[in-house]
Amino acid sequence: MKKINIIQSLVIIGLLITGCTDNFEEINTNPNAPEAVSANLLTSTVTSEITRKLTQEGYSDGNTITQLMAKNNFSGFGQFDWGDQGMWNFFYGILPEISDILEISRAEETKNSTYEGIALTMRALCFANLTDLYGNVPYSEALAGKTEGIFTPVYDDQESIYNGVLQDLSDADVALAKGMKITGVTGDVIYDGNPEQWRKLANSLRLRYLLRISKQRDVSTEMQAILSAGNFIKTNADNAVLIYSGTSNTDSWPESTGRIGGFDEKSLCTTALEYFNTFNDPRLDIWFDRNSDGKWVGIPIGLNQDNARAYDDEYSPSRLDVNLFYYSATDAQAYIIKNSEVQFILAEAAEREIIAGDAATYYNAGVRASLSYWGVSETDINNYLIQPTVAYNGSLELLLTQKTIALWNVDYQGWFNYRRTGLPALKPGPNTLNGSLYPVRFLYPSSEQTLNTANYKAAVEAMGEDNINVKGWWETGTRY
């Protein structure tokens, strides 16, 4: 009897086990945590986070390095006291998500050429920024961890990376030209999945990067072809911008969610004030507030902490406009590239005879686009353009100064232009920690020295040194 009971018990246990394992996967699958993430969810993350990060960097440090703004507290960046800069981790952190969008867009069951074009455009944007900021960086093996198990990637030279960036943008143009629609929620916070608009963005970035390498390479045929095809940003309606909804901290202009003390650390730079006074520029009153004495006052870049605080106490430099850049969660926008930059790219290319066209026409269009974007009336724009100090006279310094102003908040693009052209001329501040030199790159993050030692050393040897004064490939050309 006892033996029979044991056998019956074993049978029952066996049936229970069989019953459990028959639908084990179904029972243990969380329907609210799907293993495969859709392209629209990934696109939402990629387009919003990249656009916000680029603009936030432009606001905090890009404007400082181009001397549109200076800090009266925690002023080390303006002294060129640079350690690890956070853009490395950000870009390499989000590039795998871009790769996932690309993989989904090319898979037979989820194939979509518009998502493919979006992914290629954003991948190019990330790698271009990485190499522009650091020089030689991991590229060909950067994303090979998942597919090939490579977790210590080699560093590629800047020319090779630019070849890849430009190829991605060219491929994006082809993919987006198919005009494939995205059904349902697109996830795209910039153009809502509009392939025509994304095609304009991809080609506008091509114009940016072709001009960037034009000291090293004849880019006239490629730039002229883009110009002739006409698929690039031509109006402010085409601008690649993110409009904040203000419904949460994540969807609000970042400064509006911080403390007023942090906001008040940023002031008008004396260099920018000189530009604004020379041009009688209405953007001064849009971006900055008069001080307590009703005056416009700047602060020099590169003061040390003690001198910056003393200067601030004595002169009360003008702060950023508090209503636009602090109290409002939605008035300021984030952006990748705007029409004003594209017009200035074409103006310089025409002036250098890289493309056909009238440089003055493009220059005027660039100035007009920037002022219009910031709400200046058509009448005031016309009056602005006829001023002798503003009217175009063939001067590249005038052109690039106006372009620098128009690049307000556009990540580090003004600094990249300065590094390529030396214009407008920028000088270190009185308490600089870099001697007489104006820096031209960020340092590699310290983590690379410990986690990717051999490839880090090879990159440093190839570039010469790992310091902020080592020029990259596109800066050292001799075509002009």
How does DSSP assign 278-318, residue by residue? HHT-THHHHHB---TTS----B-TT--HHHHHHHHHHH-PP
Residue pair 230/328 in contact (Cβ under 8 Å)? The answer is no
Rounded to whole angstroms, the Cα distance separating 278 from 285 reads 14
Region of poorest pLDDT, from 76-90, 120-134, 232-246: 76-90
Q: In the beta sheet, which residues pair with residue 420? A: none
| pLDDT single digits (tens) 111-121 | 999 999 999 99
**Neighbour count for residue 20 (Cβ, 10 Å):** 11
**Neighbour count for residue 396 (Cβ, 10 Å):** 18
Rounded to whole angstroms, the Cα distance separating 170 from 225 reads 12
φ/ψ of 156, rounded to 5, equals -95, 155
* Token duo for residue 268: 């008008």
pLDDT over 90 (residue 8): no
Residue type at position 19: G
* Token duo for residue 145: 């961890």
Which pLDDT band, with edges at 50, 70 and 90, does 27 fall under? very low
Residue pair 477/354 in contact (Cβ under 8 Å)? The answer is no
Rounded to whole angstroms, the Cα distance separating 233 from 393 reads 25
Mean pLDDT over 115-129 rounds to 98
Question: Residue 309: which residues within 8 A CB-CB, separation 6 or more?
Answer: 72, 73
Mean pLDDT for all residues in the chain:
93
φ/ψ of 132, rounded to 5, equals -70, -35
Residue pair 472/131 in contact (Cβ under 8 Å)? The answer is yes
Residue pair 273/296 in contact (Cβ under 8 Å)? The answer is yes
Which pLDDT band, with edges at 50, 70 and 90, does 235 fall under? very high
| pLDDT single digits (tens) 285-340 | 999 999 999 999 999 999 999 999 999 999 999 999 999 999 999 999 999 999 99
Instruction: State residue 86's pLDDT score.
Output: 74
Which pLDDT band, with edges at 50, 70 and 90, does 35 fall under? low
Which pLDDT band, with edges at 50, 70 and 90, does 23 fall under? very low
Mean pLDDT over 333-358 rounds to 98
| pLDDT single digits (tens) 374-415 | 999 999 999 999 999 999 999 999 999 999 999 999 999 999
Instruction: State residue 372's pLDDT score.
Output: 98
Rounded to whole angstroms, the Cα distance separating 283 from 375 reads 9
Instruction: State residue 17's pLDDT score.
Output: 41
Nearest to 399 by CA among 374, 363, 346, 440: 363
Rounded to whole angstroms, the Cα distance separating 42 from 35 reads 13
pLDDT over 80 (residue 82): yes
Output the CA–CA distances (angstroms, integers) from residue 3 to 10, 12, 14, 16, 17, in the order listed. Answer: 11, 14, 17, 20, 21
Output the CA–CA distances (angstroms, integers) from residue 352 to 203, 263, 475, 479, in the order listed. Answer: 20, 40, 16, 10
Residue pair 156/137 in contact (Cβ under 8 Å)? The answer is yes
Instruction: State residue 37's pLDDT score.
Output: 83
pLDDT over 80 (residue 6): no
Instruction: State residue 36's pLDDT score.
Output: 66
pLDDT over 50 (residue 167): yes
